[in-house]
Structure 1
Amino acid sequence: MNKTEQSTLLVSLEKNIHYLKEKFNNSTDLKIRPLTVNDEVIRDAAVLYLDGITNTQTIQENVLSPLLRIIKFDSIDAIITRHLLIADVIKVTSLEEILSGLSRGKTLILIDGYDEGILADTADWQMRSVTEPDTQRTMKGSLIGFNEQLKVNVNVLRNIVQSHKLSIENLQVGTEVKTDVSIVYMDGFVDQRILEETRKRIKEIDVIYLLEARVIEDALEGKKTLFPTVFTSERPDVTASALYEGRVAIFVNGIPYSLIVPALFLHYFHQPDEYNQKSGRFGYRFMRLFSWLFSIILLGVYVTIIRFHQDWVSPHFAKLFFKKSDTLVPPFVEIIFVMLLFQLLVEASLRIPKSTVIIVSLIGAIVVGQTAVTAKLIHSMTLIVVGINFLANISISAGGLYGSVLILRFIFLVLGFFFGLKGLLVGFILMIVYMASIKSMGVPYLAPFIPFNAKEMKDALIRGDLRKLINSKHTYPHKK
């Protein structure tokens, strides 16, 4: 048989090993341990594994030692049921399944004269320890965050949700290199239409390999929108709460956060602090909503006042800051320059060593900013306004809303500069209409406001009584 046509194991041990070595391009980390096992005759056998991702001690104690003690066996099934001490063991014939298994840290057992093999799970992946989330921290509550290992993330979630109703559906995405993906939901709580749509969209993904969760997000979002319709969370407690609300979580191996659908606009203003503390149940969400509004229209209002409505402020203030401004560039260019400066600071903070973040921030915010004001490149008021806008933007960045704010604040800046207050009002109305047309897995993005659902308002703008929230079931309106 031509090697290019081979799809299943052959009875020849030598040919099977030769095929696997070729498929791994004679990689030096593919280890082959030859041995013999006793049947009615002594048969040659081999144990194959990838060094570095398998536990060699487990292989020695639970695979090699039992095989060497075999006196007689009737079949491959007999070896599995009577001799091997590994919990996760399967019989295989497909070479594609074998190649995938070896790449995932499993150990392959082949015996000459049999066209069947055994895959035993002996994986020993190196992983980062479970630590506190970086972007969704809280003053009170859980300090555990997800890491890059899917099994660890499921383990942490099961520790929080200790119920048989927590259901895990494992899928693999990728035609050449398969990546493990898990769909997680609570049986009896989940919205079935959301669950079915999630399954459908993930199974329809056709990619060669999957390295980033963004591929899954694109599939779940469906139609491209300005606003995010998939919520991302580094926190197991936030994910568990979403499951109890009837939503669906998706984990991707190698990604240290969960994807949660549906993601409604209001979900981006809910934070764990509100459920772990007595204070803040009435004001925190209004503050974040105000911060979001502030972050998208403040710059537009500022240029509107400068160009069209200087009479809104006291004459002394207008004369000092607007009429006698002696900067070298117009206000619109000033704002763009300062926006780019702050964005560069954010990018630099993410790319450089943590030990130098404070130094870079000081250089950017104090030295560059102050020097630009002194050199009359920008006005001091412009620096203050953009700084406030930046802080408001950061306060609502958790979950994925940050990107849409960057685009919206520029749009409103242009509208305010060219059309003034009327342009801002028209732009805001059009934005609300656009948001009302968005769907997240078939659920209206502005629910429970549009369409209005009085029962769901108990956890909308204010956090209601926790006992009532826990005992009530969430419902989601769907597109007709």
Structure 2
Amino acid sequence: MNSIEQSTLSTKLNKNINYLKEKFNHSTDLKIRLITINEEIKREVAILYLDGITNTQNIQDNILTPLIKIMKFESVDAVISRHLSIVDVIKITTLDEILSGLTKGKTLVLIDGYTEGILADTSDWQMRSINEPDTQRSIKGSLVGYNEQLKVNVNLLRNIIQSHKLSIENLQVGNETKTDVAIIYMDGYVDKSVLEETRKRIKEIDVTYLLEARVIEDALEGKKTLFPLVFTCERPDVTVSALYEGRVAVLVNGIPYSLIVPTLFLHYFHQPDEYNSKSGRYGNRFLRFFSWFFSIILLGLYVTIVRFHHDWVPTHFAKIFFKKSDTLLPIIWEIFFVMIIFQLLTEASLRIPKSTVIIVSLIGAIVIGQTAVTAKIIHSITLIIVGINFLSSIAIAAGGLYGSVLTMRIIFLFLGFFFGLKGIIIGLVILLIYMASLKSLGVPYLAPFIPFRPKEMKDAFIRGDLRKLINSKHSYPHKNRI
């Protein structure tokens, strides 16, 4: 075949079948069913599908049986309109679209003598049941989380938002393997600038295949930053709330969470519990903020006290725990040792069977922690401080902020060790300036604080009245173009 023949179907059925076999490397799951229709003029027809991802009973009842019953063949359009009883059926001519359709679980009907084929959606994908989210759980409220099927996830959103204003744009990303991506927004609520930029950046992604949503996250974030500029969400109800706030959600087939933009720093301290219950509306966000603050500077403050500021603690306490400490490792190596232990325990808990997580935790807490203190490898205060630091970082893990904490705690640890309190203060000032310079698709990261927007403070530090929040529209500042 020349290049023209390879791009479109041939009138010869055997030529088309051989081409498709070669393209699939004679894969055994490519099934071909040959039949003969029309008693007046014998005409060969081939039904092709990939076994395992198609519903063979659907093919039998709605494609094969109607084709066999055809007594007079008129045209491909007549077959589609009069005989095939499947909702999603299209006429196709290009081989690239045929290959893409077959890999998505569609069934191909080829008729000898015609350069047109028929693609019918008979996909039957295996999927897990809908479960409660793992990391963004709620004490009260919805227990539904996303799964890996894009159609199921869209169905969950449609079930909550039963409105014609819910708009869904389907795109495909990937040159070799085309992955379905959905851009979702609420017409009349969405920030138009954010929507246009989201659409543009996703369309500009040039990759061979897309298996991880991180590729889209990188595209939406633009430049590399210390903080996440895209919020990852496992809960449909949180996604719906974001859509009504004028934000844009992106769903990727095969990924059990949504990507939400624009993302503000404040969003990482909001949790569904605050909107589903009366308690916690005033203090929980402050608690999470201080947890984040402690998680980045606590280790730095600790080494600062040990090295430079013994006078901050009672004299008797400082003499016992700091001046007369007889542990084997220097203070900074003690901290790194305990941090590595905690990180190893976290990694082990994620990689091993769930039934053995408790055993590993007991080994880490009793054997490693207690033995290390008894053997005077590390100080007991160091173990306590690093433990508090670890728990503080876990408290704000949802959404993607946890990764930035790991880096910042190391930075402030070295600032406190080498420069003391002045180094930590200077580091905090630089951090504030850096965060103020960040933008999530053109929206300032620290809004509504920098720039200050009083109207948007109703859902900032505390959760405001729900009726007022629901009836008010959010707006986002766009000082500079991206």
TM-score, normalised via structure 1 length: 0.99
1:365 and 1:429 mapped to 2: Cα distance? 36
Report the counterpart of residue 276 of structure 2 in structure 1: 276
2:86 counterpart residue number: 86
Give 4+ residue runs of structure 1 displaced > 6 Å after superposition: none
Alpha-carbon distance in 2 for matches of 1:74, 1:186: 45
Which residues in structure 2 correspond to 1:243-258 (within 5 Å)? 243-258=243-258
Q: How does 1:196-211 map to 2 (within 5 A)?
A: 196-211=196-211
Residue matched to 1:113: 113
CA–CA separation in structure 1 for the residues paired with 2:228 and 2:40: 65
Aligned to 1:124: 124
When structure 1 is superposed on structure 2, of 72-81 and 193-202 the one drifting more is 72-81
Give how far 1:73 is off: 2.8
- 2:310 counterpart of 1:316: no
Distance in 1 (alpha carbons) for counterparts of 2:74 and 2:188? 46
The structural deviation recorded for 1:3 is 7.3
Displacement of 1:71 after TM fit?
1.1
Partner deviation per Cα, 1:205-260 (whole Å, 9 max, x = no partner): 00010000000000000011100000000000000000000000000100000000
Bigger shift: 225-234 or 38-47? 38-47
How far did residue 38 of structure 1 move? 1.1
Deviation per CA, 1:138-165, whole angstroms, max 9, x where unpaired?
1000000000000010001111111111
Task: Give how far 1:40 is off.
Answer: 4.7
* Distance in 2, Cα, partners of 1:258 & 1:98: 29
**Secondary structure in 1 matching 2:229:** coil
8 Å CA contact retained: 1:264, 1:447:
yes
Cα distance in 2, alignment partners of residues 202 and 137 from structure 1: 29
Q: Secondary structure at the match of 1:170?
A: strand
CA distance in 2, matches of 1:238, 1:72: 55
2:263 aligns to what?
Answer: 263
After superposition, give the CA deviation of every residue in 1:172-227 in whole Å (9 maximum; x if it has no partner): 00011100000000011100000000000000000010000000000000011100
CA-to-aligned-CA distance 1:21-41 (integer Å, 9 cap, x gap): 000000000000000111751
2:48 maps to what in 1? 48
1:160 maps to which residue?
160
Deviation of the 1:5 alpha carbon: 5.4
Q: Which residue of 1 aligns with 2:29?
A: 29
Measure, in 1, the Cα distance between the counterparts of 2:216 and 2:389: 31
Code of the residue aligned with 2:298 in structure 1: it is L
CA contact (8 A) 1:173 1:205 kept: yes
1:147 corresponds in structure 2 to 147
Once the two structures are superposed, what CA deviation does each residue of 1:330-359 show, in whole Å capped at 9, x if it has no partner? 110000110111011111111111111111
How far apart, in 2, do the equivalents of 1:161 and 1:294 lie?
Answer: 38
> Equivalent residue of 2:399, what SS?
coil
**Pairing 1:348–2:361 present:** no
Q: Residues of 2 paired with 1:338 and 1:315: CA distance? A: 26
Alignment of 1:233-252 (within 5 A): 233-252=233-252
- Measured after TM superposition, the shift of residue 366 of structure 1 is 1.7
| SS of structure 2 residue aligned to 1:6 | helix
The amino acid that maps onto 2:457 is M
The residue that corresponds to 2:99 in the other structure is: 99
C-alpha separation in 2, matches of 1:4 and 1:115:
13
Equivalence for 2:395: 395
Q: Write out per-residue CA displacement over residues 35-74 of structure 1, whole angstroms, 9 at most, x where no aligned residue.
A: 0111751100010000000000000000001101111132
The CA distance in 1 between the partners of 2:402 and 2:40, in whole Å, is 69
Name the residue aligned to 2:217: 217
Aligned-pair CA distance for 1:324: 1.1
Distance (whole Å) between structure 2 residues aligned to residue 366 and residue 159 of structure 1: 48
CA distance in 2 between counterparts of 1:39 and 1:234 reads: 56
1:265-304 equivalent positions in 2, closer than 5 A: 265-304=265-304
Q: CA RMSD in A?
A: 0.9
Q: How does 1:340-379 map to 2 (within 5 A)?
A: 340-379=340-379
Question: Do 1:36 and 1:42's aligned partners in 2 also have CA atoms closer than 8 Å?
Answer: yes
Name the SS of the counterpart of 2:119 in structure 1: strand
Mapped partners of 1:315, 1:412: distance in 2? 26
Counterpart residue identity of residue 212, structure 1: E
SS at match of 1:399: helix
Instruction: Check the 8 A contact 1:3/1:19 in 2, yes or no.
Output: no
Q: Distance in 2 between matches of 1:242 and 1:26?
A: 47
The equivalent residue for 1:464 is 464
What CA distance in whole angstroms lies between the structure 1 residues aligned with 2:477 and 2:39?
A: 64
Distance 1:373 1:83 in 2: 78
Normalising by structure 2, we get a TM-score of 0.99
SS at 2:202 equivalent:
helix
Q: Matched residue of 2:153: which SS?
A: helix
User: Residue 255 of structure 2 aligns to a residue in which SS?
Assistant: coil
Contact 1:39 1:73 in 2 (8 A): no
The unaligned stretches of length 5 or more in structure 2 are none
Q: Is the 8 A contact 1:296 1:409 kept in 2?
A: yes
Equivalence for 2:16: 16
Tell me: CA distance 1:4–1:137, structure 2 relative to 1, closer, same or farther (3 Å).
same
In the alignment, the residues of structure 1 paired with residue 276 and residue 448 of structure 2 have an alpha-carbon distance, to the nearest angstrom, of 24
Q: Deviations over 1:259-279 (max 9, x none)?
A: 000011000000000000001
How many angstroms does 1:2 deviate by? 3.4
**2:420 counterpart SS class:** helix
Maintained 8 Å contact 1:48/1:107: yes
Tell me, in whole angstroms, the C-alpha distance in 2 between the residues paired with 1:422 and 1:366.
37
One-letter identity of the residue aligned with 2:271? Q
Instruction: State the aligned residue count.
Output: 480
Secondary structure of 2:6's aligned partner? coil
CA distance in 2, matches of 1:72, 1:325: 96
Q: How big is the shift at 1:316? A: 1.0
Amino acid of the structure 1 residue aligned with 2:266: L
